[in-house]
Each structure stands twice: as C-alpha cells, then as structure tokens.
Structure 1
C-alpha cells in the first residue's frame, strides 16, 4: 500500500547521498561561491583585451578550464541540494544565489569567446595544432562564429542568463512546492497521493479501480495549475525563439540542434519513422495488456500496468546490487568497481520524501564521482531504472578521467546510448539465467514496458508533441493550456488509434515533463536506444570485442560527433537501418510476449 511521504529530515541517512565530496556544509559552499566571483573578476582583469595570438589563446583557455572545473562543483552542489527537497528554504535561497552569481560570472567572462572569435581563423587553427586538448572547444566555437553577436550584446545576454533559465525553476516550484495532492477515496477509504507516489506506484497499481481513481485525482490537481504551467512554458519558448532570431538561425529547430552536432534530417527521421512504424506493435501490446488483465476497456491510465501483476518481484536496495553486478560484470572490473563504490560510498539518493524531484537522473561533476537520484519503490523494475542511471555514471566516470572538461561531454543526441545500453544488459542477463516461463515473460515485458515504452514511446510522443509546439512558435505564434492540451491529445490519439481510450486527463501529460525546458531533448532517448540496441546485440554475439569497443566509445566523451561515436561502436546512424532494425526487434519482443502468454495460459 502506498504511504504518505515523510519529510526529508525523517529519512534515514543511509538512504541519502553524501555530498561531502563536493562540500561539507552550506558555509563552505558560500565561501567557494564568493571566491569564484572574485576569481572571475581577476580573470577578466588579467585577460580581457589580451587575446591576440596563439600563446595568449592557449594561456586563456588553460586558465578558463581551471576556473570551470571549480565552477562545476559549486553548480552541482546547488542543484543537487534543492533536487532532494524543493520545499527547503535554505536550498531554495542557495539555488537562487548561485543562479545570480553564475549570471554575473558568465557576463564577466563572455569576452573570452568574443575575443577568440575575433581572431583570424588561421590563428585558432594553429592553436589547435599546438595544443590538441583545446581542438574540440575551438572547433565548436568556430561553428558558432556566424551566430556570434557584438561583444557587448553577448555580455548583456550572459548577464540575463539566470532570468532566461527562470521558467524551469518556476516550473519545478509549481510542481514540487505549490502542488499539494489531497487524498483520494475509493469505496469510502482514503489513499495518499503525491507526484512521486503517482509516478512510482499508482500508475502501475494492479487494482483497476484504485489505479484509475488515482489517475483522475492526479489529473484534477494538474488541471488546477494548467494555465500557470502553460504560461511558464510559453515564456521558455518565446525566449528560445527570440534568441534564435537574434543570432540569425534559420529556425528555432536549427538553433536548438546546433549544439547536438546532427542535422534536422536525423531529428525528423527519429520522430516520423517511430510514430508510423512502431505504433502497430505498441497497439498490439496494449491489447495484450487489456486481455491478460481482463479490462473492460484499455484507457490511458492503464498503460503502465504489469502484464502479470501477480508476478511483480519486490526487491530491496541491497538485493538490486546483486542483479546489477551480475548484469554489468561483462563491462569489466573497473566498471564494476565504480558500481560497487556508488552503493558503498553513497553516491545514490534512494529515499522517497516530500519535495524530492520526480523521476531519476545522474549528475556527473567533472573531477568528482557521479551522483544518482532515484525514488526507490521496491518494485523490480527499479533495477532497470538504476541500471539506466549507472549507465550515465559509467559514461562520465570514463569520459571525465580520459578527457579534459571541454572534451568530456558528448552531444545530447548520444547521451542516452550508454544509459539504455545498461538496461539491455540487465535484460539479457535476466533472460540468460532463468527458463521459468513466467519469469521470462516478466523480463521481456519489462524490456517492452520499461526500456522501450519509456524511451521509445513516452519520450518519442513528447518529441512529436514538442515538434508541433515549436512549429507554432517558429511561425510567430504562442501557446496556452488549451492549445497544448489539444496538441498532446492529438499526438496520443494518432499513435494509439482505437487500441487505447485517451481518457480525460491524458492531454495534461505535457505538464509532467521537465525535459521541455532542455531544448530538443526528448527525441534523443529513442536515438540513444537505437544505438544501444544494436550494440547490445553485438555484445551478445561477439562478446569481449564489442565490449572493448564500447568502453572506448565511453572514454571518447565529446571528442567525436554522434555519427562518429556510433561508428566506433559499429553502428551507422546516417541510414534508417539501425532504427528500422530496432523497431522490428520491439515487434519481435511483443510477438514473443503473445506467444509466452498463450503457452502459460494453455499450461
């Protein structure tokens, strides 16, 4: 039974992460932030107006790199502290303070890019030859040259950076602080409801009456805040559109894709092909869910239920370690040492508490180990979620050791490949170690429902919705709650057809996702999973050779484009083939679920 969430202070320390490797206290954080502000001033005073040749270019980038390494620690501490309790006054003020100081720092140091781009291309190319560690940074900078504005304009825009990022903070405050869910009632009994409990428990609740009542109560509360949330989102969209226009991009899409190092054809292909070709497979899966669970009709509120509610293994945090170690051991002793340290050294925040950010994420500050946030429900599918976040951790654990801070982070397009790879490795490990039909069906249904539904369907439908929203904004229009509801409902109805009843409240799903404040992020999940599906097949078939090549990809960080990184792993994403192969594979999994269900029911 779902319980009311405790406050952060009531949570056992062992279930929380240990931030002492960043700072021991808020006082230490304040001192470091003050020191950074002074260092930025000193760097500005020492360097502005002096970047004129190759030696001064290299010296400036050396100093800037050392500064960024300190800045990222302070930034991470501020964001991680508030992510575990958005209701904490001290954390709120600390986060706001960091944003304000970071904007000042950004403005003070904006001259670096401006002065570098004012140099002749030959000077920058010579600097790349003389200092290979800055080659990636300077190449990316040169790509932005056509869109660079006057130095004083860049300085002013940088000063407003905290204002431009305010919609995301406002969204989180509305969602995690202002939105308080009342208990809902079923047959005279009251049940507690919160964002975390709905997404972690109620969505997958086997009791249909309870599940649908929770969905209705959750949707009712969302609806109360739809206009504020829509206005917040429109602020974000208009800021992005204004920036794209100011910088001279042809469209808002070109602006948002510029840092991803992929062209618009890869973006559109991912959405168009999956929307059209995956839909029949997922509609078949929805009908199977309905049949096995004996539902009168399949509604949107039923899509997250288990194929076999009686076979949903429960698991403790400690037990999860055995599964994850077994599944990821193929990645080698160094990787497993990282996994073990993440448990023993408290890199992971498992607790469920009021005010904690929903979902799960991994933060990987340069120079320090990764941190993972998850709200542990005890359901077996949490093993997949944790393996996913450990995939991000393993990626940056390797990349941060091998590359400098400029070169460690790859394009957003590739970011979800290492995470979804780990989900595939967990599934392969579980399938290999049991012949029990029910367990086998549970594992395959977990791959479909957790790995593919979440990354290939949920995020893909977000991307399809997001593209329609940006098309409006690009045409000079704005959005409100009514428009966003209509667009979201249309996307859901097109994908699910007559297999799922898109009930009232489903259209409000756009309110639940923070990814919309992170540019064109949602579509990258399916892009990453396309790559990892193909590589996981290689690992199954080729073993160590494929593993070694994948580890080299992780170590490469951001030194190569997504196309080049995929090529290193033996996948050609310049063609439709990997995506078509992955969609076909999902179809095979669904067919296998149908076959196993028939065999189980016949037995």
Structure 2
C-alpha cells in the first residue's frame, strides 16, 4: 500500500543529508556570499585589462580558480537545500536571490575568457608550457576561440544567466509545487498518488487494475499542465537556438555537442543503432512480461513491472550497504572508505517527502564530499540506483582530489560511465552467488529492467525524441504541447511496434524528464553504459589489472576526451563495436530470461503433477 507523502519536517533526521558540512549555519552561508562578492571585485580590479603575457595568464587563472572554488560550495548549498523540498518558500527565495548574485558574479568574471581569447595563440601556448595545471583549460579555450563574442556581449550574456536558467526553475515549480495529484479509485477503494509514489511504486505495481488506473490518473494530471510545460520548454529551446546562432555555430547540435568533445556522427550512431537493433530484443522482453503476468495486452503502462514480483525482497537502507559493500569491494579500500563515509556521515538523502525532487542525482562539489539524493522505497531497484549514484560520487571523489577545479569534470558524453559501471558490478556480484533458476532470473531481470531499460531504453527514447525536437528548432520552428505529444508518441510507436500498445497518456512522458533542460544529455546514458558494460566484462575476465586501469580513468577527470578516457579503460568508442557488443549482450540476457522462465514453469508444472 502506498502511503501519503510526509512533509519534510516530519521525516527522520538520519534519513536526510547533512548540509552543515558545507555551511554550519545560515549566517555562515550569508557571510560566505558577502566574502565571495568582495573577492570577485578584488580579482576583477587586479586582472581586468592586465592579462597580457604568459606570466599574467597563469596568475589570472590561479586567482580565477581560487574564486571559482569559493563559488562552488555556495551554489551547491543553495541548490541542494531547495531540491529536498520545492515547497519550502525560504529555500526557493534563497535560490532565487543567489541566482541574481551568481549572474552578477558571472558577468564580472566574463572578462577572463574574453581577454584570454583575444591574446595571440603563441602567448597561450607559452603559458601552457610554463604551467601544466592550466594546459587543459587553455586548450579548450583555444578550441572555442572562434565562437567567442565581443567582451561586452559576453558580459551582457553572463548577466542574463539566471534569466536563461528561468525555464528550468519554472519547469520544477510546475512539476513539484503546482502539480497536486488527487487520489485514484479502483473497485470503490481510494489510493494516494504523487510524482514520487507513481515513479517509485505505482509504475511497477503488480496489480494490473491499480497500475493502469494509477497511470491514467497520473497522465490526466500531467495533461492539465501540458501547455504551460510546453511553453516553458520552447522558451528554453529558443534561448539555445539564439545562442548557437549568435556564436556562429552551424547548427544547434554543433553548439550543444561542442563541449562534449564528440562529433554528431557519434551522437547519431548511439540513437540510430539502438533504435534499430535493440528494439527487437526489448519487444521480446515485453512479450515475456505479458506472458508471465497473463496480461490481456501489453501496454506502455505495463513495461515497468517486475518479471517475478513474488521474488522481490524488501531492502532496508542498512541492508543496502551489505549488497553495495560486497559488490564494490573489488574497487579497493580507498573507494570502500568513501562508500562507508557516505552512509556514516549522511552524504545521502534517503527520505521520501512532499516537494522533494524526483529521481536521483549526485552532486560533487569541488573541495567537499559528494551528496546523493534518492527517495528510498525499499526495492532492489533502489540498490541499483544508489550504486549508480555512488559511481558518480566515487568518480568525483577521485577526480576532485587529483585535479584542479577546472580539470576535474569530464565531458558529458563520459559522465554516466562510472555510474553505470557500479550497476554492472552489483549485477555481476549477484549473479556469481547463486545457481538457483528463480534467483538467477530475478537478478537478470533486475539488470534488464533497471540498468538497461532505464539507460538504454527510457533515456534513449528521450534522446530520439529530443533529436526530432532540435531538428525542428534548428530549422527555425517552435514547439507546443500538440507537437511534442506527436513527436513523443511517434518515437514510442516506432520502437515498440505492434508488440506494445502505446496507450493514451504515454505521449506525455516528455513532461517527466528534467534532462531536456541540460542540453544533449539523455543519449549519454547509453554511451556511458556502453563503455561500462565493456569495462565490467574486462573486470570479470581480468580482475585487478582492469580495476586499476579504471581507477586511473576516474582520477583523470576531464583532462582527456571521452575517446581517450575510454581507450585508457581498453574500449574504443570511435568504432561501432562496443555498442554492437553491448546490444548483443542485452539480447543474450533477454534470451536467458526466456529459457529460465521455461525451466521454472516446467519445474512448477512437474511439482504440481507429482
């Protein structure tokens, strides 16, 4: 039974994260902002107009790094304190106030990149030779030189940064504050509904009548807000298109892929190959779910059910640590110390409460420890999600220690590899520990339903839809709710064919995902999982040497391109092979599920007849 969500003030403290590691008091936070503004002013006064040679380039970047390191905890505290309760007026006002302050800071600091870009390349190269710390930063700056605008224009654009971020804030407010779900009824009985309970519980509910009724009620509420949400999204898209045009990029795709350090062919390959070659495997999986559950038809609302719900254990937060410790132990003592601290020192927000951001994320502020947000429901799915977010934490725990603030963060294309790697390690560990057909089927179905469905299907279909949206925007068009619904429905129907009925409400799935406000992000999940699937196979086959190489990749942070980082881990993503191998691996897992199901059903039939 799904209970109504408690208020944030009603949840247990031990289930929440401890933001006092960033700032002990509100006064300390306020003082940090005052100091930051003063430091920015002093930095600008010293260096604005005075970056002229290699020596002053290095000095300016040292000062810039020091300022940036002070921006990070303030921004992180502001963001995290509002993400756990979007209904908290104080947190929302704090967030809005800091947004304005940050925009002013960005505007004052915009001169750094503008003046560095105007220097001759030989001066920048000389600075690189004198200081390896800033080589990576300056190489990226040289690459971006042709898209840099006049310093005054850059300053103005930076001043508008909080305004440009407005659509994302509006999306979250609509979703987490304004959207209130009514109870839904099945056979005369009422059941509570919320964003978190739908995505955490009802979507996987084994009772078909309740699951489909919850889907219908959830979709009906989304529909009430479709026009506002579409207008909000269009505003965001038009801002990106205008920026791409202003900066002189050939297309909005070139603009959004530029910082990812991959070309459009790698982006397209990820979407096209998976859409074409994974679809038959996933349709087979959908038909298996339909058969096992005895469904009259397979609908979009049924795709998240567990293959064997009777085998699904309830897992407490404490129990999750044992699973994760055992699975990730191969990563070594330093990594496991990080995992241990994350539980003990309250780096993780487990609570379920009203107004909390949906899904899960990891924030890894430079100079501090990571923070993880998750809403714990007690399913095996949560263990995979937590392992995933600890993968991000372990990545930046390593990168932040080894690299300076400019070098720690890798391309978005690579960002999901360390997280999905941990999911693979959990899956592999579980598979190694039993030959019981039911347990084996449960583990493999968890891998397919959680790791691969989520990253290779859900996010991939978002990416296929997102590409159609951007093609329309790039051609000078705009979008509204009708257009977005049609595009989303078309993508779902193409992938699932006649094997899954795309029922009414499925087309509104575009309203559920904040990733659309983060550039070309959704496709990177499958890119990261392609890399981690291949690396996890190496770990299984080669053991410690493969782990050691992977830890070196984590420490490298953003000092190399995604292709170079993958190569360090023994994977060549410049070819189709890793992706094709991963799709084949998913197909093999689904074939195993079919065989195991037949074996289990045959055993059950034999036992009944005895």
TM-score when normalising by structure 1: 1.00
Post-superposition Cα deviations, 1:416-456, rounded to whole Å, max 9, x if no partner, equal: 00000000000000011112211110100010000000000
The yes-or-no answer on 1:413 pairing with 2:413 is yes
Counterpart of 1:57? 57
What is the SS of the residue equivalent to 1:262? Answer: coil
Distance 1:285 1:26 in 2: 51
* Cα distance in 2, alignment partners of residues 434 and 340 from structure 1: 26
Q: Is residue 299–residue 500 contact of structure 2 (8 Å, CA) maintained in 1?
A: yes
Any conservation in 1 of the 2:315–2:380 contact (CA below 8 Å)? yes
Q: Which residue of 1 aligns with 2:317?
A: 317
- 2:570 matched to which residue of 1? 570
Name the CA distance, whole Å, in 2 between partners of 1:127 and 1:283: 56
Q: Distance in 1 between matches of 2:46 and 2:19?
A: 33
- Matched position secondary structure for 1:70: helix
Provide the residue aligned with 2:608 in structure 1: none
Distance in 2 (alpha carbons) for counterparts of 1:25 and 1:195: 31
* Cα distance in 2, alignment partners of residues 52 and 94 from structure 1: 38
Q: How far is the alpha carbon of 1:311 from its aligned partner?
A: 1.0
Q: Secondary structure, in 3 states, of the residue corresponding to 1:181?
A: coil
In 1, the alpha carbon distance for the partners of 2:230 and 2:27 equals 37
After superposition, residues 52-201 of structure 1 pair within 5 angstroms as 52-201=52-201
What whole-Å deviation, never above 9, does each CA across 1:494-543 have from its counterpart, x for those lacking one? 00001100000000000000000000000000000000000000000000
For 1:550 and 1:299, the matched residues in 2 are separated by 40
Instruction: Provide the residue aligned with 1:21 in structure 2.
Output: 21
Q: CA deviation at 1:25?
A: 2.1
Cα RMSD between the aligned structures? 0.5
Indicate conservation of the 8 Å contact 2:183/2:192, yes or no.
yes
Cα deviation for residue 28 of structure 1 reads: 1.7
Matched, 1:431 2:431: yes
Q: CA deviation at 1:39?
A: 1.3
| Cα distance in 1, alignment partners of residues 581 and 185 from structure 2 | 46
1:261 aligns with 2:265: no
The aligned residue for residue 236 of structure 2 is 236
Q: C-alpha separation between the residues in 1 aligned to 2:87 and 2:135?
A: 43
| Structure 1 gaps, min length 5 | none
User: Which digits, 9 at most, give the CA deviation of each residue in 1:328-374, with x for residues without a partner?
Assistant: 00000000000010000000000000000000000000000000000
TM-score by length of 2: 0.99
1:41: how far off? 1.3
Distance 1:229 1:394 in 2: 35
Q: Name the count of aligned residue pairs.
A: 603
Which residue of the partner structure matches residue 458 of structure 1? 458
1:595 corresponds in structure 2 to 595
The answer (yes or no) to whether the contact 2:380–2:446 under 8 Å persists in 1 is no
1:509-588 equivalence runs, <5 A: 509-588=509-588
- Distance in 2 between residues matched to 1:473 and 1:29, nearest whole Å: 41
Three-state SS of the structure 1 residue aligned to 2:407 is coil
Question: 1:482 maps to what in 2?
Answer: 482
Check if 1:376 corresponds to 2:384.
Answer: no
Q: Give runs of ≥4 in structure 1 deviating > 2 Å.
A: none
Q: Distance in 2 between matches of 1:516 and 1:469?
A: 10
Secondary structure of the residue aligned to 1:381 is helix
Structure 2 unaligned segments of length 5 or more: list them.
604-610
Q: Describe the superposition over 1:394-426 as per-residue Cα deviations: whole angstroms up to 9, x where unpaired.
A: 000000000000000000000000000000000
Counterpart-to-counterpart distance in 2, 1:480 and 1:35? 44
SS of alignment partner, residue 357 of structure 2 = coil
1:491 aligned partner: 491
Any idea what the Cα deviations from partners look like across 1:56-88, whole Å, max 9, x if unmatched? 100000000011111000000000000000000
1:254 and 1:31 mapped to 2: Cα distance?
41
